Amino acid sequence: MKTVRIAGTSLEPLSPESESIKDWIISSENYLQGIIDKTAYSIGAILGDGHMRYIPSHGNGSWYSTELAGMDIEVLEKFQSEILFAFGKSYPIHTKRLKSGIDFFTVRASSGPIHHFFWGITSGKQEIPSEIFRSSDDTKRSFVAGLMDTDGTVKLNETWNGSKTNKNPRWQLGFANTKLGIVESLASLLHSMGVKVGNIQSTPRGSYRTIYNIHPNIRSFIDAGFYFQAKRKQERLNDYLLHVVGSETMHTASVTSDEDIVRS
């Protein structure tokens, strides 16, 4: 029988029963962390702009749904692949052509265990999981990519540079959510990875809700290894880098407007 010591106590024998419980807890934590590592991007995407529904039934069984929808098919494809990898279930992506001519994509996982996992790990879409903060840097980057792909923006605006012939391209990152705790936690996570986040700003929307937003420094965001899965957003980061390398000058300014605010 091996012995263990808690700080400040004498050596005490650990009973076989206690040792088994400890091993089970460690095994369970390792299993959960393994699932989180496989689904970090999807956790961020669901927390940002996903939908989870549960309809109880007393006769034909309950109905569960974990859903993502949007115009960036890369986001849904990533969610689709992570669900297959982590849970062994495949769900199709459905396409709808909007009146504007833009394709709108939807993928829905109709599974109780999948619903329970995402609902539990995000506390019903209320908070960033504490396990993310204890994860590897790669897992953190994947999670942030999912969150930023759905509730984040990368804005490009061109302003006149003193004349009618020259323009300054200006880029800005943004993240907005109605839940202050999520914005605070994201700011803390980014800061821990070396990103300059700045202050949290709040914007009242009528008398019933407030939008909280941050504008992380784009250069430190890239230098810390963060990225977008959505092609159109990542291309703007790439354009920013090309401009900075070409001019050796970074230009950032506040260009946030109502269109930057993404529904949470």
Question: Residue 91 pLDDT > 80, yes or no?
Answer: yes
For residues 247 and 168, give the distance between their C-alpha atoms in angstroms, rounded to a whole number: 11
215-251 per-position pLDDT tens digit: 999 999 999 999 999 999 999 999 998 888 665 544 4
Q: Are 105 and 59 a contacting pair, CB within 8 Å?
A: no
pTM score, whole prediction:
0.80
With residue 147 as reference, give the H or E element that holds it: helix 137-151
pLDDT range class, residue 93, cuts 50, 70, 90: very high
Residue with tokens 């909007």: 98
Q: Are 44 and 145 a contacting pair, CB within 8 Å?
A: yes
* 217 vs 23, higher pLDDT: 217
DSSP string of 84-111, one letter each residue: HHHH----PEEEEE-TTS-EEEEEEE--
Q: What is the model's pLDDT at position 86?
A: 95
Domains in the chain and their CATH numbers? 18-260 (3.10.28.10)
